[in-house]
């Protein structure tokens, strides 16, 4: 029993030992298996890391290569874009520094050539903008740029001389515009050859040149005489013709005699001097600094004229003209008046001449024609017609469309042409007679009356007077102001001349009974002046006309 138990115990121990051995084997095997798996995983991770490093290197290399390729492509494009933007901003000096045989190189070369072409074209345009095409001289804009530059130069003395070629239209009409262009070019060359140091020539407009003389030691009078001698002394050779020039000069200096002045306004001052010379029938005139305030006042008035037209500040006053024998009102002269809201009544002499100089006279003439045409049409509808005369400026007569303007006003107001008379001064007629003649003939054929104002002061010839379509002469008031024996003879001669040509004669400026009676004895047809009536507003004129319907009496005028 005990042996059995011992045998059983031994068997149990052997079984346990076997189980332990088996377990140890299993564990050992399992440990070996575990060790092999860890090692495999380690080697796997190591392989992945190696692959990742290689891939990362490839990516970095690819990025670097891509960046290098992109940089090689985009840098020229950026340079092209930069140059394009500079060209767009007006800088044509920059060039693309790319020289390569591919398409980008061709594009860069084309862009460079385009920049050069644009720069050349703009330079040409800039030169054209500052240069007169006909003569090659600088133009008005170039002169203004030069004056602006001189304004910043200290101690600069400047003289600007405007040279007006008189009656240039005669050359154009008789010889043609091509001959006129040749004459202008020859004049420009003469101006350039003048023996004056530090002088630049410009062409301001059609027949007006300018000389800018800097720091000259010569007096203004000496320079004027030099210009007149050089330009008028020898005729121009135009094709087969000899052309004599006649010039008028306007001078303005800086600084002026009083040490003041505005160099930027120098061209304007010279223009004022030029117009003054023409109106005073002088060959040259210098801008007077003492008249600066008066000039500024005129400029102010000129700027206010447009407002005056819009705000009905202008009025028409009528001065009657009576038959000397009967005293009956036969016609009237329309005169413009300006009632300024601040200055009160502004004399026509303060704004009419300046309006003529600046071209604003056309607006005033159109306004007057509208007002007078409407009024004469109203009187004719009321069966009390009365012809009215309107003063016409030379600026209007020089307008090729002037006849159409007048006839258009008559048609717009349904006015009769026979009720409108146009007054032109003798001096204006003689300034450009051939140009005026065509316009006057057209208006006269339409039925308008033509009157020569201030007759006796313009030195018109009898031959020319006989060609004009004129209906009446107005004796200049200067002959009536002082009735000396000499003036009496002139008045009688004018009356005889007018009647011989079939014209009526009006004595203007009749202010005393003596003059009225003298004009009767001289044979004048009509009289106008303060003895009869001053220029009257419309309502007062109509009252006067009604009161004088039976005739003007000189004795009644004396009592007044």
C-alpha 484/C-alpha 80 separation (Å) is 90
Supply the pLDDT for residue 399: 84
292 touches 516 (CB < 8 A): no
What's the pLDDT band for 457 if we cut at 50, 70, 90?
Answer: low
Supply the pLDDT for residue 320: 96
Above pLDDT 70, what percent of the chain? 75
In the predicted model, what is the mean pLDDT of residues 96-111?
66
Is pLDDT at 558 greater than 50 in this prediction? no
In the predicted model, what is the mean pLDDT of residues 281-299?
76
Is pLDDT at 431 greater than 70 in this prediction? no
- Dump pLDDT digits (tens) for 216-270: 878 888 899 999 999 988 889 888 888 888 899 999 988 776 556 678 888 888 9
Contacts of 385 (CB under 8 A, 6+ apart): 376, 379, 416, 419
In the predicted model, what is the mean pLDDT of residues 366-370?
96
In the predicted model, what is the mean pLDDT of residues 58-64?
82
Strand partners, 335: 317
In the predicted model, what is the mean pLDDT of residues 444-473?
80
Strands 329-340 and 388-391, bridge-based pairing: parallel
Supply the pLDDT for residue 473: 92
- Dump pLDDT digits (tens) for 14-50: 544 455 445 445 444 444 444 455 666 666 667 777 7
Supply the pLDDT for residue 36: 57
The residue ranges of DSSP E strands in 384-525, in sequence order, are 388-391, 420-425, 449-455, 472-475, 504-508
Average pLDDT across the chain, whole number: 81
207 touches 270 (CB < 8 A): no
CATH code of the domain made up of 1-130: 1.10.8.500
In the predicted model, what is the mean pLDDT of residues 427-450?
84
The residue ranges of DSSP E strands in 291-427, in sequence order, are 314-323, 329-340, 344-346, 388-391, 420-425
In the predicted model, what is the mean pLDDT of residues 267-287?
85
Least trusted range by pLDDT, from 59-63, 108-112, 240-244 = 108-112
Q: Provide long-range contacts, Cβ within 8 A and 24+ apart, for 124-128.
A: none
Distances (CA, A) of 547 to 183, 378, 552: 61, 19, 9
Q: What is the pTM of this model?
A: 0.59
- Dump pLDDT digits (tens) for 172-193: 877 888 988 999 999 999 999 9
Supply the pLDDT for residue 10: 45
What's the pLDDT band for 1 if we cut at 50, 70, 90?
Answer: very low
Measured N-to-C along each axis, helices 348-358 and 361-381 cross at an angle, to the nearest 10 degrees, of 120
Range(s) within the chain of domains with CATH label 3.20.20.450: 315-336+361-559
Supply the pLDDT for residue 55: 80
The CATH T-level fold of domain 140-287 is Alpha-Beta Plaits (3.30.70)
C-alpha 473/C-alpha 528 separation (Å) is 13
The CATH T-level fold of domain 315-336+361-559 is TIM Barrel (3.20.20)
Classify burial at 453, counting beta carbons within 10 Å of its beta carbon; exposed 0-12, middle 13-18, buried 19 or more. Answer: buried
In the predicted model, what is the mean pLDDT of residues 313-333?
94
Range(s) within the chain of domains with CATH label 3.30.70.270: 140-287
What the block records as the tokens of 501 is: 């040509």
Supply the pLDDT for residue 260: 63
Range(s) within the chain of domains with CATH label 1.10.8.500: 1-130
Q: Which of 4-13, 24-33, 365-374 has the highest mean pLDDT?
A: 365-374
Above pLDDT 90, what percent of the chain? 33
What the block records as the tokens of 344 is: 């009160």
What's the pLDDT band for 66 if we cut at 50, 70, 90?
Answer: confident
C-alpha 403/C-alpha 382 separation (Å) is 28
């Amino acid at each position: 029993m005990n042996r059995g138990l011992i045998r059983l115990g031994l068997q149990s121990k052997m079984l346990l030992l076997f189980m332990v051995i088996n377990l140890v084997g299993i564990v050992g095997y399992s440990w070996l298996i575990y060790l092999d798996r860890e090692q495999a995983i380690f080697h796997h991770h190591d392989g992945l890391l190696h692959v990742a490093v290689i891939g990362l290197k490839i990516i970095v290399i690819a990025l670097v290569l891509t960046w290098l390729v992109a940089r090689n492509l985009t840098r020229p494009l950026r340079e092209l874009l930069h140059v394009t933007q500079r060209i767009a901003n007006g800088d044509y000096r920059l060039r693309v520094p790319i020289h390569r045989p591919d398409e980008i190189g061709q594009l860069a070369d084309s862009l460079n050539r385009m920049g050069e072409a644009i720069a050349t074209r703009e330079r040409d345009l800039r030169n054209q903008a500052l240069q007169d095409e006909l003569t090659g001289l600088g133009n008005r804009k170039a002169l203004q740029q030069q004056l602006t530059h001189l304004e910043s130069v200290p101690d600069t003395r400047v003289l600007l001389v405007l040279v007006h070629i008189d009656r240039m239209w005669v050359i154009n009409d008789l010889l043609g515009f091509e001959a006129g262009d040749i004459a202008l070019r020859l004049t420009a060359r003469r101006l350039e050859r003048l023996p004056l140091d530090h002088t630049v020539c410009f062409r301001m407009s059609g027949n007006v040149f300018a000389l800018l003389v800097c720091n000259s030691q010569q007096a203004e009078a000496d320079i004027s005489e030099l210009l007149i001698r050089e330009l008028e002394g020898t005729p121009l050779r135009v094709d087969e013709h000899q052309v004599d020039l006649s010039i008028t000069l306007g001078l303005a200096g800086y600084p002026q005699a009083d040490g003041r002045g505005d160099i930027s306004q120098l061209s304007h001052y010279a223009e004022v001097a030029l117009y003054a010379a023409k109106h005073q029938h002088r060959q040259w005139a210098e801008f007077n600094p003492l008249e600066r305030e008066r000039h500024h006042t005129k400029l102010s008035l000129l700027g206010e004229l447009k407002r005056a037209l819009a705000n009905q500040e202008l009025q028409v006053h009528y001065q009657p003209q009576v038959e000397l024998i009967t005293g009956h009102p036969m016609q009237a002269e329309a005169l413009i008046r300006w009632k300024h809201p601040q200055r009160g009544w502004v004399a026509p002499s303060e704004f009419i001449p300046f309006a003529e100089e600046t071209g604003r006279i056309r607006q005033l003439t159109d306004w007057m024609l509208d007002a007078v045409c409407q009024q004469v049409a109203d009187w004719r509808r009321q069966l009390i017609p009365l012809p009215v005369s309107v003063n016409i400026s030379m600026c209007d007569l020089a307008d090729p469309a002037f006849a159409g303007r007048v006839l258009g006003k008559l048609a717009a107001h349904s006015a009769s042409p026979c009720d409108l008379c146009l007054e032109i001064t003798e001096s204006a007629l003689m300034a450009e007679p051939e140009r005026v003649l065509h316009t006057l003939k057209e208006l006269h054929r339409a039925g308008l009356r033509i009157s020569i104002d201030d007759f006796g002061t313009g030195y018109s010839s009898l031959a020319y007077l006989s060609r004009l379509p004129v209906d009446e002469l107005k004796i200049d008031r200067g002959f009536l102001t002082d009735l000396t024996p000499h003036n009496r003879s002139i008045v009688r001669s004018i009356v005889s001349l007018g009647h011989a040509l079939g014209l009526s004669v009006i004595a203007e400026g009749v202010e005393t009974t003596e003059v009225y009676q003298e004009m009767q004895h001289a044979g004048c047809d009509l009289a106008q002046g303060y003895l009869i009536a001053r220029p009257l507003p419309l309502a007062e004129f109509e009252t006067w006309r009604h009161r004088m319907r039976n005739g003007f009496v000189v004795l009644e005028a004396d009592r007044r």
